[in-house]
Structure formats: C-alpha cells, structure tokens
Amino acid sequence: MNAELTTTQAVVEVKTASTPQGMHHTVMDISGEMVLLTWLMFTVTAFILYKIAWKPILAALDKRENDIKASLDTADKARQQAEDTKIQCERLLQEADAQARELIEQARKTAQETSDSMRNQAREESRLLLVSAQQEIAFEKEKAVNALRQESAQLAIELAGKLIKKNLDTEQNRALTGQWLSKL
Amino acid sequence: MTSSVDIATNAVSAGGPVDTKIAVHDFIYEHVMYHIAEADVWNLPFVNVPQLDIFRYDGVMIAVGCLLLIFFCGFFYKPNKSVQHGWANLLEVFVLFIRNQIAIAFLGEKDGRRMAPLFCSFFFFILILNLLGLVPLFTTATGNINVTGALAAITLGFMVGGGIYRCGVKNFLLTFIPPGLPLPLKIFMAPLEFVSMISKVMALMIRLFANMLAGHIIIFSLVGLVALFGLWAAPVLALVVCVYFFEIFIAFFQAYIFTLLSAVYMGQLYRPEH
C-alpha cells in the first residue's frame, strides 16, 4: 500500500516538477520539429558521408575486386603459358635427342661403309698387285726359261760343235737338239 | 548516474527515516520517467540544466552523432591509400557487407550498387545514435518515435519514389493489385496491399523505437531495484552489466534490421516480378 502511495506521489511530483512551463515533449509525442531536424541532419550527413566515405570506399572496393580478378586471370594465363612452354620444351628436347641419335647412327653407318669400302679397295688392290706380280713372275719365268732354253741350246750347239768338231748341218743339229731338249 | 544511485542506496541501507526512502524512490522514478517521458530535457542528476523550449536533447544527440560519424569517416578513411589500416578496414568490412548482403542481395546488381550509399548512411546513422544512447548521461535519439518515424518516412519515400522511377506510375500502381485474382477480390485486395505497405513502414518505425527504449527501461528498472531494496538487490548489478552488453549487440542488430528491412521493402517495389 505504502509503495503504491509513494508511486502515485512520485508521478504527481515528477509531473509538477518537470513541467514548469507546461511545454514538454515526450518521446511518444509527435513533433514536427524533431522530424524535420532528423531529415535535415540525415540528408546532410548522408550527403557528406557519400562524398567523403561511401563513394571512395565503394570505388576502392570495386577497383580491388577488379584488380584481384585481373590478377587471377593473369596468373592463370601465365600458368597456362608456362605449361605450354614446358610441353614445347619437352617436345624440342625429344626431337633434338632423336635427331642426335639419328646423326650418330648415320655417322656410324657412314664410317662403317667407308671402312668397308676402304678395306675392299685395299683387298682388291692387293689382289691386283698379287695377280700382276704373279703374272710378272710367270712372264719373267717364261722369259728366263726361254732365255735359258736358247742359251742352253746355244751352249749345247757350241758344245756339240766343239765336241764333235764335225761339219754338220747346223740347221739339222739344232732341230735335233731342240727335239732332245724338249724331251728333257 | 551510478554514483548518485550509490549515494541513494547508502542512504537507504543506513536505515534512514521513511521520508528518505520516499525521496530515493522519487529520485529513481523521476529518472526513469524522465528517460521515457522527456525528450527535451538534459536530465543530469543533481545538475539543473536550463530548460528551453527549443532545446531538444535528442536533437543535440543527432547532431553529435552526425559530427562523430563524419569525423570518424573523414579521419580514419584515407581515399588515396589502396590498402586501409585499422578502423578504416573495419569500415570497409561493414560497407562491403551492406553492399553485398543487403543492397545487392535485395535490390539486384544494378539498383543495389546505386543504392548502397543510402543503406550505408542508414546503418551508420542509426548505429551511432544507438551507441551514443549507451554512453552514460546521453540519451538515445533512436528511442524517440519522431526520429525513427522520420527515418522510416525516408524509406517510404525511396520505396514509392524509386518504385515509380523504376517501373513508371502505371506499373507501380499495378503492384498494389495482385495478379490472377477475380475482379471483386482485386477491389478488396488493392486497399489492403496499400495498407500493408504503410504498415510495413510503421512497423519499421516502431520496431527501432521500442527496441531502443525497452533496453533503457530495463536498465533503469534494474538499477532502481538496488535503490529501492538496498544492498540485498546488489547482485542485480551484474545483470545490469549483462543487459548493457546485450544492448550493445542490440544497437548493431537494430541498425542492421532497419537497413535490411528497408532494402527488402524497396526491393519488393523496385522489382515487382519477384
């Protein structure tokens, strides 16, 4: 009861104390001035903030977004390019390797062929030399034999003439001697 | 405020006479009532501020809030730096969130980007007024229905103006007539849709106003318990601190809600096909 009483008293006291001129506005009162003031302050603040904050911030955010997107694109492109280059490098290396192998093979083949041909040539030459030497030997031998034959026949005739001291037909004797010699 | 309450509490717990108790009760009640009922008095305890008819304390709070906001943005944000530091970074986070999650999400890519500055202004304007209300001896300008009403009216203006600008007068008026209904129902529904639009804005006004006022009434009432019942009610101060921190959250949350719902309502009228 006491509490209720004091509450009522307080309300009365507050009302009387706080309304000396009887011109007070509560938060629930509709006040055109307050509305106008809010509009004015909000508009001015919004305009100033748009100029000093929102516009540059939003522009910076857009720019950053675009920059990041562009950087990512560039990085992607660069990576793609690097991959392409790598593949190309590998291909070139493989080609070079194959070419080198081919060259070596070719060189080896050429060397083989050269050595083979040189060897054959040498062999042929030596064979020819041998053949000519043989021919020469045979020819010389023939010549020597003939010379020897003629010499010996001459000698035999001389010898026979000397020995026999007989006037014989030289032609006949020579024929005879030749006959004998061929039988030898 | 707290120190004066402490003095009053000590007086009560010392077992003073009954009229002291009544005086303390009156003191608390007066302050709670002032907070709820008086928008034009700077009710400093024990200090008599001259009361002028043109002196609106909530108006002063708005001016202080606006100046703080402009100072904060102008001082911390350096437009020529490509990478921001400290508070400007936080500002960017909020702006980015408002642009992407509120403006673009509900208004579409083109309108959202164009309207983002308005929502940023809404959010920070309401936020700074809410937070200033939590500073001891200051009042909450957003706890004044005229302020929230003015803000909601701005939303209404953008809803109607933007809707007409975006769709033309005829199409804007057609949004009040739901398609695919028989004629009698259309005649019935059109005023209903109109009332629905107005009531959305009214709800916007009352939501912010009531939320900001309620938190303060809770704190004043809890502190009043200590003044009334003495030290026995002292543990309630822990609850007051909790409510205070909750009010900080509410300050952010209500600023967000107001901005978000403004975007939703504008989006409904800007893009009636959705």
Q: Average per-residue pLDDT in chain B?
A: 81
Nearest CA in chain B to A13: B26
Mean pLDDT by 10 residues, chain A (184 residues): 44 41 57 84 92 89 91 96 95 95 95 93 91 88 84 79 65 78 79
pLDDT for the residue A115: 93
Q: Which residues of A touch B73 (CB under 8 A)?
A: 49, 52-53
Q: Which residues of B touch A45 (CB under 8 A)?
A: 66, 69-70, 121, 125
Alpha-carbon distance of A40 to B139, in angstroms, equals 20
Summarize pLDDT for A46-90 with one digit per residue, the tens: 999 998 888 988 888 898 899 999 999 999 999 999 999 999 999
Summarize pLDDT for B185-207 with one digit per residue, the tens: 888 888 898 999 999 999 999 99
User: How many structural domains comprise chain B?
Assistant: 1
Cβ distance A27 to B69 less than 8 Å, yes or no, reads no
User: How many structural domains comprise chain A?
Assistant: 1
**Residue A116: which domain range?**
43-166
Summarize pLDDT for B148-170 with one digit per residue, the tens: 999 999 999 999 999 999 888 88
Cβ distance B38 to A24 less than 8 Å, yes or no, reads yes
What value of ipTM does the predicted structure carry?
0.79
Query: Considering the domain boundaries, does residue A55 fall inside one?
Result: yes
Query: Considering the domain boundaries, does residue A73 fall inside one?
Result: yes
Nearest CA in chain B to A49: B70
Alpha-carbon distance of A50 to A52, in angstroms, equals 6
Cβ distance A6 to B150 less than 8 Å, yes or no, reads no
Nearest CA in chain A to B229: A3
On the CB side of B136, CA atoms within 13 Å amount to 6
Neighbours of A39 (CB within 10 A): 16
3-state SS, residue B199 = helix
Cβ distance A26 to B36 less than 8 Å, yes or no, reads yes
Query: Considering the domain boundaries, does residue A75 fall inside one?
Result: yes
**pLDDT interval class at B14 (50, 70, 90):** very low
Packing angle of the helix pair B145-174, B236-270 (nearest 10 deg): 20
Neighbouring residues of B206: CB distance < 8 A, sequence distance ≥ 6: B145, B148
Query: Considering the domain boundaries, does residue A121 fall inside one?
Result: yes
Buried b (16+ CB within 10 A) or exposed e, B13-34: eeeeeeeebbbbbbbbbbbbbb
Cβ distance B124 to A14 less than 8 Å, yes or no, reads no
Query: Considering the domain boundaries, does residue A5 fall inside one?
Result: no
Q: Which residues of B touch A65 (CB under 8 A)?
A: none
Token pair 């209300």 in the structure block, residue: B133
Q: Is B77 in CB contact (< 8 Å) with chain A?
A: yes
pLDDT for the residue B12: 46
Query: Considering the domain boundaries, does residue A133 fall inside one?
Result: yes
Q: Is B56 in CB contact (< 8 Å) with chain A?
A: yes
DSSP string, B109-129: HHHHHHHHHHHHHHHHHHHHH
pLDDT for the residue B24: 67
Query: Considering the domain boundaries, does residue A4 fall inside one?
Result: no
Summarize pLDDT for B37-69 with one digit per residue, the tens: 555 555 555 555 555 444 567 777 888 888 888
How close A33 gets to chain B, by Cα (Å)?
Answer: 9
Q: Is the pLDDT of residue B23 over 60?
A: yes
**pLDDT interval class at B183 (50, 70, 90):** confident
More confident residue, B274 or B114: B114
Query: Considering the domain boundaries, does residue A79 fall inside one?
Result: yes
**Residue B22: which domain range?**
2-270
Q: B interface mutation test: which of A1, A16, A57 has the most B CBs within 10 A?
A: A57
- Global pTM reads 0.67
> Which residue in the set B51, B70, B95 is minimally distant from A54, CB to CB?
B95
**pLDDT interval class at B123 (50, 70, 90):** very high
Q: Is the pLDDT of residue B34 over 70?
A: no
- Contact predicate B116/B99, CB 8 Å: yes
How close B199 gets to chain A, by Cα (Å)?
Answer: 18
Q: Average per-residue pLDDT in chain A?
A: 81
Cβ distance B33 to A14 less than 8 Å, yes or no, reads yes
